[in-house]
Amino acid sequence: EDQVTQSPEALRLQEGESSSLNCSYTVSGLRGLFWYRQDPGKGPEFLFTLYSAGEEKEKERLKATLTKKESFLHITAPKPEDSATYLCAVRSGGYNKLIFGAGTRLAVHP
Amino acid sequence: NAGVTQTPKFQVLKTGQSMTLQCAQDMNHEYMSWYRQDPGMGLRLIHYSVGAGITDQGEVPNGYNVSRSTTEDFPLRLLSAAPSQTSVYFCASSTDRHQETQYFGPGTRLLVL
Q: Which of A4, A46, A98 sits opposite B101 (nearest CB)?
A: A46
Phi-psi region of B61 (alpha: psi -120 to 50; beta: other; left: phi over 0): alpha
Cβ–Cβ < 8 Å for A11, A104 = yes
pLDDT at B98: 60
pLDDT at A93: 66
pLDDT at B61: 95
Q: Which amino acid is at A84?
A: A
- Report the candidate in A60, A82, A91 with the shortest Cα–Cα distance to residue A12: A82
- Report the candidate in A34, A31, A29, A27 with the shortest Cα–Cα distance to residue A1: A27
Closest chain B C-alpha to A107 CA, distance in angstroms: 17
Length of chain B: 113
DSSP assignment letter at A61: T
Residues A95, B97: C-beta atoms closer than 8 Å: yes
Q: Which residues contact B52 (CB under 8 A, 6 or more apart)?
A: B68, B69, B70, B71
Q: Which residues of A72-104 are buried (b: 16+ CB within 10 A; e: fewer)?
A: bbebeebeeebbbbbbbbbbbeebbbbbbbbbb
C-beta atoms surrounding A64 within 10 Å: 24
Which residues of chain B carry a pLDDT beneath 70? 97-100
Give the whole-angstrom CA distance, residue B7 versus residue B13: 15
Q: Does A10 touch chain B (CB under 8 A)?
A: no
pLDDT at B100: 67
Please report, in tens digits, the pLDDT of each residue of chain A (110 residues total): 788 999 999 999 999 999 999 999 998 888 899 999 999 999 999 999 999 999 999 999 999 999 999 999 999 999 999 999 999 999 876 656 788 999 999 999 99
pLDDT at A102: 95
pLDDT at B97: 62
